[in-house]
Amino acid sequence: MQECHFILLGATGDLAMRKIFPALFRASQAGLKPSICACAKSPLSTPEFLDKLNTRAQEYIKSLDPSAWEDFSANISYTPLDLTRLEDFKALQATHPNTIIYFSIAPEFFAKACQNLAAVGLNTPNIKIVLEKPLGTDLKSCQEICQEIGQHFKEEQIYRIDHYLGKQSVHNLFYLRHNNPFLAGLLGANYLDHVQVSVLETLGVESRGGFYDPMGALRDMLQNHMLQILALSTIPANIPIERTRQAKLEILKSLKPLSRAALKSQVVRGQYIAGGGLKGYTEEEQVNHNSQTETFVALKLELDHPSWQGVPFYLRTGKRMGISLVQVVFVFKGPPQALVYTIQPQCSLELQLQGMGALKSTLDSGMDAYERLILEVVAGNQAPFNHQDELEAAWSFVDPILQSWHENLTPLLPYTVGSFGPQAAFDLLHQDNREWFAHV
């Protein structure tokens, strides 16, 4: 039985209710024994908060065992807390040597919260903090946030969450390459023609328009999740697992900057328009009616890395796509044949060889991503979390793309709900005599 004290800032928010509390409950069923101090601005008593939490638990936890939930919620207390008021932080205590403070709050409050935590002594070496993305909207703002946090907490105390790194299905790809010399030998410049990474969603922005409109697909999905998938797909297969974090950093630093010409010819951005009875992006709740925010991005990039010289990578992500899919496709040289690794909706590995059809195996997707990441924080394992240097390397690659969009180098192209993006996304591969993998 592992014990910890869990202080959750932003406990009444959607993320806390939908993801964090269910993950903590599942972790408690697997042997974790957390005492939880839930904090938010709402002036609630503990019973009032638990009433609210119990209602949401019925919605988000399948086959909820009432007795198990009662045992779990008995260890939850609620403390009203204004993130900007130092006085409120004096009510918090580190009641266990393994104390975790989870920032389920907007990043603009990170610095103030860290300052107030430090002022009441809640930044001692035994305390860990967990930060949700996004950390900044560009390289400069990312560095500023990290610098402010770093004034109060050391790097080894900081766990920056990318929930994709908690998915067992994402890590399965690395483990397959790490433990399978056959695959390790094939996945590199000697045998590969190119690699495709697709993250497609049938959902639109739904009720997240207020968050999404200032961000867009490039910041919300490609800069973090997709570049992390790319890194895990390409790090050397023979490295020790404990060096995974450093190996990912080396890959991210090897991203070749896009020239001004490439920013015009190798980047596509789009925005969904109404179709099939569904709204267009600019008709969504909390979205500017004249918004130029992209809901689709496709681009071609290369790595300046010995194992991947000359191998192009094609990345695409979009909302309101024809299907929901997260997939990495390694396309081999010669006749059309590929190794297809699907992360969502069902984790699977498929080898397509000319004349042999497809050999497909379904893989275990493992535990929920947030549950796994919380257990990794408790254990003090930082490998599945982003280092500051990784964030900065990713932003260094993405910043010139954002700047080129401010200069209107890349037009914002419409695409209909239920399609697979603008025609320009297909032309991106057609101009190289390639095409997107037929995933349906």
**pLDDT for the residue 405:** 94
437 inside domain = no
Domain harbouring 286, CATH code: 3.30.360.10
- 153-180 pLDDT per residue, tens: 999 999 999 888 888 888 777 777 777 7
**pLDDT for the residue 117:** 97
Pair 35, 181 in one domain: no
**pLDDT for the residue 356:** 56
**Do the Cβ atoms of 178 and 237 come closer than 8 Å?**
yes
Annotated ligand binding at 163? The verdict is yes
Tell me how far apart the alpha carbons of residues 331 and 350 are, in angstroms, rounded to a whole number. 12
140 inside domain = no
Q: Which of 80, 112, 132 is where one domain is finished?
A: 132
Pair 169, 127 in one domain: no
* Side-chain-side CA neighbours of residue 148 (13 Å): 18
436 inside domain = no
Domain harbouring 41, CATH code: 3.40.50.720
Q: What are phi and psi of 349, to 5 degrees?
A: -125, 125
β-sheet bridge partners, residue 37: 7, 77
225 in catalytic set: yes
Pair 168, 115 in one domain: no
Annotated ligand binding at 133? The verdict is yes
- 371-430 pLDDT per residue, tens: 999 999 999 999 889 999 999 999 999 999 999 999 989 999 999 999 999 999 999 999
**Do the Cβ atoms of 350 and 342 come closer than 8 Å?**
yes
Select from 216, 230, 227 the least CA-distant residue to 406.
Answer: 216
* Side-chain-side CA neighbours of residue 235 (13 Å): 26
Collapsed DSSP state (helix, strand, coil) of residue 181: helix
Pair 124, 183 in one domain: no
Q: Which of 132, 147, 174 is where one domain is finished?
A: 132
Q: Catalytic residue, from 152, 171, 194, 225: name it.
A: 225
Q: Which of 132, 150, 182 is where one domain is finished?
A: 132
Pair 300, 170 in one domain: yes
294 inside domain = yes
**Do the Cβ atoms of 286 and 213 come closer than 8 Å?**
yes
pLDDT band at 227 (very low <50, low <70, confident <90, very high): very high
Annotated ligand binding at 90? The verdict is no
Cα 29 from chain centre: 25
Tell me how far apart the alpha carbons of residues 290 and 396 are, in angstroms, rounded to a whole number. 28
Pair 98, 27 in one domain: yes
Pair 334, 193 in one domain: yes
Alpha-carbon distances, residue 253 vs 141, 247, 387, 412 (angstroms): 19, 10, 13, 28
For the residues 354-377, what does the mean pLDDT come to?
A: 75
* Among the ranges given (78-87, 235-244, 265-274, 280-289), the one the predictor scored with the smallest mean pLDDT: 235-244
Pair 176, 125 in one domain: no
**Do the Cβ atoms of 72 and 61 come closer than 8 Å?**
no
The domain tally of the chain equals 2
CA angle 267, 387, 218 (to 5 degrees): 20
Burial-class residue 399 by CB neighbours within 10 Å (0-12, 13-18, 19+): middle
For the residues 131-148, what does the mean pLDDT come to?
A: 92
pLDDT band at 348 (very low <50, low <70, confident <90, very high): confident
For the residues 351-358, what does the mean pLDDT come to?
A: 65
Pair 114, 233 in one domain: no
Tell me how far apart the alpha carbons of residues 81 and 89 are, in angstroms, rounded to a whole number. 7
Pair 297, 419 in one domain: yes
Annotated ligand binding at 62? The verdict is no
For the residues 61-82, what does the mean pLDDT come to?
A: 93
Select from 373, 366, 322, 368 the least CA-distant residue to 347.
Answer: 366
Collapsed DSSP state (helix, strand, coil) of residue 277: coil
Residue 334 neighbours by CB under 8 Å, 6+ apart = 193
Residue 13 domain boundaries: 2-132
Pair 125, 170 in one domain: no
Q: Which helix (H) or strand (E) holds 113?
A: helix 110-119
Burial-class residue 45 by CB neighbours within 10 Å (0-12, 13-18, 19+): exposed
Phi-psi region of 183 (alpha: psi -120 to 50; beta: other; left: phi over 0): alpha
Alpha-carbon distances, residue 11 vs 40, 77, 135, 159, 268 (angstroms): 6, 11, 20, 18, 38
**pLDDT for the residue 440:** 46
Omega before residue 107 within 30° of 0, cis = no
387 inside domain = no
**Do the Cβ atoms of 222 and 315 come closer than 8 Å?**
yes
**Do the Cβ atoms of 204 and 272 come closer than 8 Å?**
yes
**E runs forming strands in 11-160:** 32-40, 76-80, 99-103, 127-131, 158-160
DSSP one-letter string for 186-211: HSSTTTEEEEEEEEE-S---TT-HHH
Collapsed DSSP state (helix, strand, coil) of residue 247: helix
Tell me how far apart the alpha carbons of residues 60 and 29 are, in angstroms, rounded to a whole number. 16
141 inside domain = no
405 inside domain = no
Cα 70 from chain centre: 31
Annotated ligand binding at 82? The verdict is yes
Tell me how far apart the alpha carbons of residues 104 and 13 are, in angstroms, rounded to a whole number. 8
Pair 332, 268 in one domain: yes
**Which pair of structure tokens corresponds to residue 95?**
């009641």
The answer on pLDDT for 126 being more than 80 is: yes
The answer on pLDDT for 51 being more than 80 is: yes
376 inside domain = no
